[in-house]
Amino acid sequence: MTDAGAGTGVSPDVTGRRIVVAGATSASGTAVCAALLEAGADVVAVGSDAGRLAELERRAPGITPEVCDLADTAAVDALAARLGAGGGIDGLIHLVGGWVGGAGIPGQSEEGWAAMERSFRTLRSTTRAFYPALLASPAGRVAFVSSVSVEAPTASGASYTAAKAASESWMRSVADGFRRDAESESQASGGGAAATIFVVKALVDERMRDASPEKTFAGFTDVRDLATAVLGLWQRPAADLNGARIRLPSRP
């Protein structure tokens, strides 16, 4: 799409953007997809399971579902090439997660680390594959969700937090790439891309609240607030967002 605001310091808008939500079938993915659709974006929702994507489509009609194992780097490259051939990509919202814990450092299992490494690989593969399209976009944005545990790692969550710390480092490298490429004359067609880290303690949604009405979920971030933060990526200039680590609001 054309872009009056790109590269001028004026905030662009999400309307008409083509945005890939990677790992879209959880409650957070549903909230993000629904908010993006409502704001007028063209949403490509990616998950590994066709059944769960069909369920997402019932909850968020209008998405374009794509089945892809995002831990399979070749499959991610093929997906990015196929989507890129069909038009520009303006956003990548990475929501693939997973959690493992263990009894102290000796309890950090190989299986648990393998799962965390797979999760990190999905971030590395998707950002690498979609990087050229995001850079070429008038307002390319990529975001992933990290954890407060990176600031205070525990023994029991060592593998999980190590993968999140690696993911944050990778995202800062992506931000550095965007900054350097934006400065190069050869990328003058782009409007300024941004890589942003969101940080939460934990996420909560309506189903969790209904299942445990006695719980306060203090410090948790509602998935609707995550969705609002995603929309906000297209309400601020790239320079404000690129490399930023943003703690998302939580409700008391």
Ligand X SMILES: NC(=O)c1ccc[n+]([C@@H]2O[C@H](COP(=O)([O-])OP(=O)(O)OC[C@H]3O[C@@H](n4cnc5c(N)ncnc54)[C@H](OP(=O)(O)O)[C@@H]3O)[C@@H](O)[C@H]2O)c1
Residue 147 sits in the site that holds ligand X (CB under 6 A): yes
Residue type, 160: Y
Residues in region 152-171 near ligand X by CB under 6 A: none
Say whether residue 95 binds ligand X (CB under 6 A): yes
The helix or strand, by DSSP H or E, that contains position 93, with its residue range, turns out to be strand 91-94
Residues 6+ apart with CB under 8 A from 66: 44, 45, 46, 47, 53, 79, 83
CB of 144 to ligand X, least distance (A): 6
> Which residue number, 87 or 98, has a Cβ lying nearer to ligand X?
98
Of 202 and 244, which has the nearer Cβ to ligand X?
A: 202
Contacting ligand X within 53-72 (CB under 6 A): 69-71
Q: Hey, what's the torsion of the CAs at 173, 8, 130, 81, to 10 degrees?
A: -150
Alpha helices in the chain (DSSP H): 27-38, 50-59, 73-85, 110-136, 158-183, 206-211, 223-232, 238-241
* 28 near ligand X, judged by CB under 6 A: yes
Using CB under 6 A as the binding rule, whether residue 249 contacts ligand X is answered as no
Shortest Cβ 125–ligand X spacing (Å): 10
Looking at the Cβ atoms of 6 and 158, the one nearer to ligand X is: 158
Identify whether the C-beta of residue 212 lies closer than 8 Å to the C-beta of residue 246. Answer: no
**Interface ranges with ligand X (CB under 6 A):** 23, 25-26, 28-29, 47-49, 52, 69-71, 95-98, 122, 145, 147, 200, 202-203
